[in-house]
Amino acid sequence: MAKEKGGFWVGFAAVVFYPATAAMSRKRIEGGERVPGSGGVLVVMNHVSHLDPVYDAVFVHKQGRVPHFLAKHGLWNVPVLGSVLRGARQIPVYRGTADAQQSLRAAHEALEQGLLVIIYPEGTITKDPDGWPMSSRTGVARLALEHDVPVLTAARWGTRDVYDHYRRKFRPLPRKTVVTRVGGPVDLSTYRARPQSLGLLREVTDLLMGEVKGLLAEVRQEQAPDGFYSSRKV
C-alpha cells in the first residue's frame, strides 16, 4: 500500500507543532518503531491535557505517518477550523447519533482506507486527580474488532505539566519532559471470533485501556491503581 501524503495542512501543522513542542519540552519516544510504515492502524492513547493532540501528532509524524484524530463533528462547521480539519483529513465523530456504529462511521472508513487513526477512548481529558485513565467509551472496541488492522496502545506523560486544564495552569518554562511509550500490537483474534455484544465491547475496551494504563505506569515508574476512575456513566 502506498504511503499517504500529508498535503498542505499537515505540512503547515508540522511547521508549527515541531518548534512549539520543542520550545515547551524535551520529547522522548520509546517504541516508535512499532508503528507500521503503511496501512490501517488504530492507536489507542490516554488523554491528560488539551496539548495531547499536538504532541501525539508530532510523535506519529516522526514515524513517517500522517495522524488522523477523532473530533466532534460540530467543529467542521467552525469557520477556518473546519477547512483545516477537512484539509488535514481529520475524523468527525457524530455524537448524539442514535446508532453507535453510525457515530463512528468516518473512523471506520478511515481504517478501511489504510489510514492511521488515533483515538482517546476516555472521550475527554481524564478527571482522575492523579492523571490515570478513566473508564472509557466502547467505540474503541468496535473499531478494533471490526477491522483487521494492527491495534497499538501508547501512553504519553508530561503534557499536563505544561498545561493543566482543570487547575488553569500553563507552565511552558522551565521545559518539561514529555515521554511517549508505544506497546506492541494487541492480539484480539480470540475476541474477533466471538459474537459481538455489549459485554464483549466493554471487555475489549477495558483490555485496551488496561494496556495503556500499564504503559503509563512504566513511564511514571509508579504502581497503577486497580480499575478505572469514573465520574460519569459510560
Structural domain tally of the chain?
A: 1
Say which CATH number the domain at 171 has.
Answer: 3.40.1130.10
pTM of the model: 0.92
Instruction: Sheet with 116-119: list strands edge to edge.
Output: 25-30, 176-185, 151-157, 41-45, 116-119, 67-72, 91-93
The reply to whether 1 falls in a domain is: no
Render pLDDT for 159-183 as a digit per residue (tens, 0 to 9): 999 999 999 999 999 999 999 999 9
Q: With bands split at pLDDT 50, 70 and 90, how would you rate the model's confidence at 49? A: very high
Of the two residues 98 and 50, the one the predictor is more confident about is 50
Could you tell me if residue 98 is inside a domain? yes
According to the model, what pLDDT value does residue 234 have?
42
Among 110, 90, 71, smallest CA distance to 13 is for 90
pLDDT value at residue 34: 97
CA-wise closest residue to 161 among 49, 60, 78: 49
Residues 6+ apart with CB under 8 A from 12: none
From the list 154, 72, 150, the residue with the least C-alpha distance to 106 is: 72
Bin 171: left if φ > 0, else alpha if -120 < ψ < 50, else beta. Answer: beta
In DSSP terms, 118 is beta-bridged to: 43, 69
Which backbone phi and psi does 61 adopt, to 5 degrees?
-60, -35
- Residues 90/94/95/99 CA torsion (nearest 10 deg): -140
Q: Is residue 57 part of a domain?
A: yes
Task: Give me 14's grid cell.
Answer: 508540522
Q: What letter represents residue 125's amino acid? A: I
- Nearest Cα to 57, choosing from 20, 109, 94? 20
Q: How far is CA 226 from CA 4, 133, 207, in A?
A: 40, 11, 13
138: in domain: yes
The C-alpha atoms of residue 91 and residue 106 are separated, in whole angstroms, by 6
Degrees, nearest 5: CA angle 71-76-80: 120
171, 161 in Cβ contact below 8 A? Answer: yes
Cell of 202: 466493554
Report if residue 230 sits inside a domain: no
Q: What is the residue range of 93's domain?
A: 7-31+38-220
Residue 212 lies in a domain: yes
Phi, psi for 68 (deg, rounded to 5): -125, 115
Is 141 part of a structural domain of the chain? yes
Q: What local confidence, expressed as pLDDT, does residue 2 receive? A: 60
Res. 92 pLDDT band, cuts 50 70 90: confident
C-alpha span between 81 and 88 (Å, rounded): 11
**For 122-142, how does the pLDDT look when each residue is reduced to its tens digit (9 = 90+)?**
989 999 999 999 999 999 999
